[in-house]
Amino acid sequence: MEHTQLYINGEWCDGASGDRFNVINPASEEVLASVASAEIEDGDRALDAAQAAYSDWAARKPRERSEILRKAWALMTARLEDFARLITLENGKAHTDAMGEATYAAEFFRWFAEEAVRADGLITHAPASGARIIVQQKPAGIAVLVTPWNYPAAMGTRKIAPALAAGCPVIIKPASETPLTMLALMPILEEAGVPKGLVNVLPSRKSGRLVDHMLHDPRVRVISFTGSTDVGRKLLHSAADQVLKPAMELGGNAPLIVFEDADIDKAVQGAMLAKMRNLGEACTAANRFYIHEKVAPAFTSRFTEAMAALTVGNGIDKSVDVGPLVNAATRDKVAAFVDDAVAKGAGVELGGTRPDGIGFFYPPTVLSNVSETSDCVNDEIFGPVAALQTFVDEEDVIERANNTEYGLVAYVFSEDMKRAMRVCERLEYGMVGLNRGLVSDPAAPFGGVKQSGLGREGGHEGMKEFMETQYISAEW
Ligand code: NAD
């Protein structure tokens, strides 16, 4: 499955400068591959290819686009193990997490195969003039897609599938830490029948220059980004010059609230999923735990027990639950969050010590009585560290949960549905997990409010990010 060149117009090629960069296996710290690095000239070639492929693809019948996407789902599904292995090798996550991601990634092809034939429209009478109002959806144009390293497959397919369903060509810039998975997907798309030039992949170690260059090309109409809020903000500035259609899936700082009437087993199970899926390297990861004082002792001991039962090691070993973090910087940041919280008075229930040796490992860690002023309460931890606080009052916990510039996802555990729904509706978040630790679903609109982003991926909304509404006022 190993491809290490750029993928432009259906061909493998080196970049204009011949420059390459290394991809590191986070478990062994060894070089996994040396990958071609795209320059702005390569961006231009990819745009030429995308432009050439555009009109034919946009004119194809939705059913034809749908069937190609459906085939991509079937082909990818037949190779989930291969994808999972590659994801683990370049990202580090454990095999179970990698299989979960590969399955989720493939599902976007199936979901958007189904959505491709369901674009909505409208014809009606204008109330005053009596003219006909005709409303239809058209492909928005060439889309530049920029994705992060934490889900090397799924963050790409969550954009590629709706773009193709809508009739748009794409140029994808995968994260420099994990470009191999996206490159490995290309032969599958070819086999499924995706024409040359429609999907182009440009790994690059000069992401800023390359993406900014493409966003200033008049042929580009959409920028769809998943990554940090800081980079998202920069891309929004770049996108402003050509007034591009932006879709931004940015950072999170998810609160997880356990009320005194929660089913504690369900809460522990949900908390494990919300915290430890992808070893905490997820924008949806529970970052701040608010546990009602009455159930805090029971929750803390059961949750700590569940965290302690996880095995840490090289994710390629299928018995391992928790792999290494993606790189040294991420691991060191997690360690610094823990040291800061402890210095500010947190208790260490589990873990909390950075291991020596090879690989960017950090153990599952549970901190209790974490101060509101700790860095880990105000910033994304992005690692296997749970920061527990307590609360007494519903009003107070809602206020604390909303006290962040982020608004991606929140989790609520309560068996009192009247209270649960009241709290969910008052949380300033794009998504809420109610008695569940997992919200991601290709059939649901994924996305955040406030500085967690703009737009939605998946669901019925996902394709709209790649479509423009046209209204025709007609008389006949
Ligand atoms: P990042 O913002 O550092 O990088 C994301 C992508 O942007 C990478 O491909 C990177 O090479 C590229 N990039 C970096 N600087 C750039 C620039 N100046 N111009 C253009 N491209 C640039 O994020 P990351 O560290 O890869 O991922 C972690 C972040 O992603 C976290 O904040 C996480 O919350 C967020 N994330 C969000 C979602 C979501 O759906 N909301 C999903 C996954 C990850």
Please identify, by atom number, the ligand 1 atom nearest to the C-alpha of residue 283. Answer: 34
CB of 203 within 8 A of CB of 36?
A: yes
Cβ 251 under 6 angstroms from ligand 1 = yes
Q: Cα dihedral sign for 416, 421, 427, 432?
A: positive
d(CA 116, CA 331): 41
pLDDT digits (tens, 9 = 90+) for 92-119: 999 999 999 999 999 999 999 999 999 8
pLDDT-based confidence at 122, cuts 50/70/90?
very high
Residues 6+ positions from 117 with CB-CB distance below 8 Å = 62, 63, 66
d(CA 374, CA 350): 18
CB of 162 within 8 A of CB of 140?
A: no
**Mean pLDDT, residues 157-162 taken together:** 98
Which residue among the candidates 283, 349, 376, 380 is catalytic per the annotation? 283
As a dihedral over the C-alpha atoms of residue 390, residue 335, residue 349, residue 410, rounded to 10 degrees, the angle is 30
Q: How many angstroms separate the alpha carbon of residue 147 from the centre of ligand 1?
A: 6
Cβ 381 under 6 angstroms from ligand 1 = no
pLDDT digits (tens, 9 = 90+) for 24-66: 999 999 999 999 999 999 999 999 999 999 999 999 999 999 9
Cβ 326 under 6 angstroms from ligand 1 = no
pLDDT digits (tens, 9 = 90+) for 299-342: 999 999 999 999 999 999 999 999 999 999 999 999 999 999 99
Our mutation pick for probing the ligand 1 site, out of 87, 90, 207, counting the most ligand atoms within 8 A of Cβ, is 207
| 394 flagged as catalytic | no
Reply yes or no on domain 254-441 having CATH 3.40.50.150. no
Cβ 177 under 6 angstroms from ligand 1 = no
| 168 flagged as catalytic | no
- Residue 331 structure tokens: 């691991």
d(CA 185, CA 203): 14
Q: How many angstroms separate the alpha carbon of residue 233 from the centre of ligand 1?
A: 11
Q: Is the pTM of this model over 0.75?
A: yes
Q: How many angstroms separate the alpha carbon of residue 90 from the centre of ligand 1?
A: 16
Cβ 283 under 6 angstroms from ligand 1 = yes
Three-state SS string over the chain comes to CCCCCEEECCEEECCCCCCEEEEECCCCCCEEEEEECCCHHHHHHHHHHHHHHHHHHHHCCHHHHHHHHHHHHHHHHCCHHHHHHHHHHHHCCCHHHHHHHHHHHHHHHHHHHHHCCCCCCEEEECCCCCCEEEEEEEECCEEEEECCCCCCCHHHHHHHHHHHHHCCCEEEECCCCCCHHHHHHHHHHHHHCCCCCCEEECCCCCHHHHHHHHHCCCCEEEEEEECCHHHHHHHHHHHHHCCCEEEEECCCCEEEEECCCCCHHHHHHHHHHHHHHHHHCCCCCEEEEEEECCCHHHHHHHHHHHHHCCCECCCCCCCCCECCCCCHHHHHHHHHHHHHHHHCCCEEEECCCCCCCCCCCCCCEEEECCCCCCHHHHCCCCCCEEEEEEECCHHHHHHHHHCCCCCCEEEEECCCHHHHHHHHHHCCCCEEEECCCCCCCCCCCECCCHHHEECCECCCCHHHHHEEEEEEEECC
Cβ 250 under 6 angstroms from ligand 1 = yes
Cβ 169 under 6 angstroms from ligand 1 = no
Our mutation pick for probing the ligand 1 site, out of 283, 405, 441, 454, counting the most ligand atoms within 8 A of Cβ, is 283
Residues 6+ positions from 85 with CB-CB distance below 8 Å = 95, 98, 316
CB of 220 within 8 A of CB of 173?
A: no
What is the reported pLDDT for 148?
98
**Best CA proximity match to 351, nearest among 334, 337, 335, 365:** 365
Cβ 408 under 6 angstroms from ligand 1 = yes
Asked if pLDDT for residue 82 goes beyond 90, the answer is yes
Residue with CA closest to ligand 1 atom 30: 227
**Best CA proximity match to 259, nearest among 396, 407, 374, 402:** 396
**Domain 6-250+451-474 falls in which CATH fold?**
Aldehyde Dehydrogenase; Chain A, domain 1 (3.40.605)
Cβ 453 under 6 angstroms from ligand 1 = yes
What is the reported pLDDT for 2?
84
Which residue among the candidates 39, 249, 349, 380 is catalytic per the annotation? 249
Our mutation pick for probing the ligand 1 site, out of 226, 233, 337, 380, counting the most ligand atoms within 8 A of Cβ, is 226
Domain ranges of the chain: 6-250+451-474, 254-441
CB neighbours (10 Å) of residue 120?
12
Asked if pLDDT for residue 1 goes beyond 80, the answer is no
Cβ 228 under 6 angstroms from ligand 1 = yes
Average per-residue pLDDT in the chain?
Answer: 98
Please identify, by atom number, the ligand 1 atom nearest to the C-alpha of residue 252. Answer: 34
Asked if pLDDT for residue 261 goes beyond 70, the answer is yes
Same fold, 6-250+451-474 and 254-441: no
Cβ 207 under 6 angstroms from ligand 1 = yes
Q: How many angstroms separate the alpha carbon of residue 380 from the centre of ligand 1?
A: 13
**Mean pLDDT, residues 362-391 taken together:** 98
Q: How many angstroms separate the alpha carbon of residue 231 from the centre of ligand 1?
A: 7
**Mean pLDDT, residues 144-149 taken together:** 98
Residue 446 Ramachandran class (φ > 0 left, ψ -120 to 50 alpha, else beta)? beta
CB neighbours (10 Å) of residue 469?
13
